[in-house]
A and B are shown apart, each in its own frame.
Chain A
């Protein structure tokens, strides 16, 4: 699980808006992207994000 503290200091690398945690993914509502989380560490790589 990602800690609340970490979540608070993260932003979407595309639009720099805050991201939210939903079902083991980090979601950027603005860009409609879902970033995966691996071994409790977000992988905010644009190529690996899923469109939502």
Chain B
């Protein structure tokens, strides 16, 4: 049998940018998986470092490597990966992370044996921060993790990026929204969970290392992304007024910190409209009334 011409079961998409010092660890953890039937598509988002040489050091026919002429960010790179991926199932990897040996095997087993309306399987992760391992997702996201989780997912992204899903789902839901400066995965999972069931494996299968330049720490990007996501799913958020008020409050506080008083006032007043007796929202609206 000619294995080289056979479509792999899984396409793993790994975007990377200037992570020559780390990517080797991530790639090795993928090549060491107990489930072997995959292609690893490394998308180099125009790195200026030695990434190309590091990848060249791996001699594994499952690795495919493309180099982009311009730096466009991870969502663009992931989308390019989705356009060329060949496998029935798709997984995303990140150059900072380490997959535990059975990550793919456990997720493939679920998806292979599930009916077609189960579109995505995800698992817990270890968040590694200052040498401490923190289990995610914690109980703050509620306990409904499998099945139709769309409504729960509106409360935040507990699915993370460490998923395996059917490539065929993308025909119905599309790919990442490149206009979002961050939170792209949350937004795609919202679209996906509207149409498909999810399945949660309650065991950490990935070590996720938090780096200081993580994009989620840039508050302007976060505000812009959250505003766009609220607009896109406003109808559904409106059915949960307390939650929507909380998001408006988060935006209001964040714009306040960034010195955008006009937007801050707008969002805090919207929060108070939805939750008129909330002391926190009242306090901030009062505080802003003191500032010109």
Contact = CB atoms under 8 A, between A and B. Distances in A.
Interface residues of B, number: 27
A16 B46 contact: yes
Nearest to B67: A13
Nearest to A16: B69
Contact of B66 (A3, A16, A41, A48): A41
Contacts of B46: 11, 16
B71 to A, nearest CB: 11
A12 B67 contact: yes
Given A39-B86, A45-B56, A9 B64 contact: no
A38 B44 CA distance: 17
B53 A9 contact: no
A44 B43 CA distance: 10
SS class, residues of chain B in contact with chain A: mixed
A45 B55 contact: yes
Interface in B9-46: 39, 41, 44, 46
Contacts of A52: none
Contacts of A3: 83
Interface string A13-44: 11010100000000000000000001111111
Contacts of B61: 38
Contacts, number: 66
Interface string B65-99: 11111100000000010011010000000000000
B114 interface: no
A45 B63 contact: yes
B70 A40 contact: no
B56 to A, nearest CB: 4
B52 A14 contact: yes
A35 B64 CA distance: 11
Contacts of A18: 69
B68 A9 contact: yes
B215 interface: no
A51 interface: no
A41 to B, nearest CB: 4
Contact of A46 (B4, B52, B84, B86): B52
Contacts of B5: 39
Contact of B64 (A10, A12, A43, A47): A43
Interface of B: 4-5, 7, 39, 41, 44, 46, 51-53, 55-57, 59, 61, 63-70, 80, 83-84, 86
12 contacts: A6-B83, A10-B66, A13-B52, A14-B52, A16-B46, A38-B61, A39-B39, A40-B86, A41-B84, A42-B64, A44-B52, A47-B56
